[in-house]
Structure 1
Amino acid sequence: MMHGGRHMNIRADQVAGGAFILLGILVFIIGWDLPFGRLSAPGAGMLPKLMAGLMIALAAGIAINGQRGEKLSEIPWSDWPHAALIILISGIATVLYTTLGFIITMTLLVFSLLVIVERRRLWAAATYAVLLTLFAYVLFGTALKAPLERGLLWF
């Protein structure tokens, strides 16, 4: 792209910052109807709107400071199969979450990412996946009383 006789150098950080600004705006649009509430009585829209605002602010900072980053045209795209596998496995986990529940889905997700994507040993990956998922379940499901999906086996 030419601008004033110079070749414009779009940087990766500028593109990423712009994409996250748009994502933050999308979150605001989707959650527009949710009540914000007050600090003493937060509404369902408080956290999503606060997080979207924070994301937009940080993304703007990344985009503004992105002039020192790597040029978008110079980024090696050779690792795209790795990224595609992560997106595919995460998408499958998202689809299965309500059916299988938190514990089974998250254990399979972590295990799959470790074995298929990161090429870790089966036994180590299984141990880590189970322990991480149980820790997350105790933290969120028990300590913080977050409603986690139970799934077909009721856990």
Structure 2
Amino acid sequence: MIHACRTFESCRLSAPAEKVWALIRPMSFSWWKLVDKVESTNGTPDQVGSLHALKYKDGQSISINIRELSDIEHFVTWEVVSSDEALPVSSTIHTIRVRRITASNETFVEWSTDFSSDASAEVIQDSKFKKLEAFKDMEAAMK
């Protein structure tokens, strides 16, 4: 699949990078208010190649495949591989990366998404706003 558009959002969290990474790494999305639960369908959350079903509070369910995970570089990459509802794009690959801000012991979090060429401006804007809301949820989970 050719990815034609990459979106990128970032934030600064008032918590050490290790604490933020410990929240993200399990891939439970427990910090994100949009997600109701995550169930492993093949493998464990810390296993590259594992599959997981994300069930959103609005009832939608998607399957994701963990493509990369690094405890050294503090990032995780996953691909949406299926959905119980028709998706507005044929492919999305997400990466969340956690970086230490050494001057203040805070954390810089990046979330990028690569969309297939059929992504509309509406899909891209929706992704942006969902990421910004997710960052607020991450900050709240740090308290």
Q: Same fold (TM over 0.5)?
A: no
Bigger relative contact order (CA 8 A; separation at least 6): 2
TM-score if structure 1 supplies the norm length? 0.23
TM-score if structure 2 supplies the norm length? 0.24
- Between structures 1 and 2, the one with greater helix share: 1
Larger Rg: 1
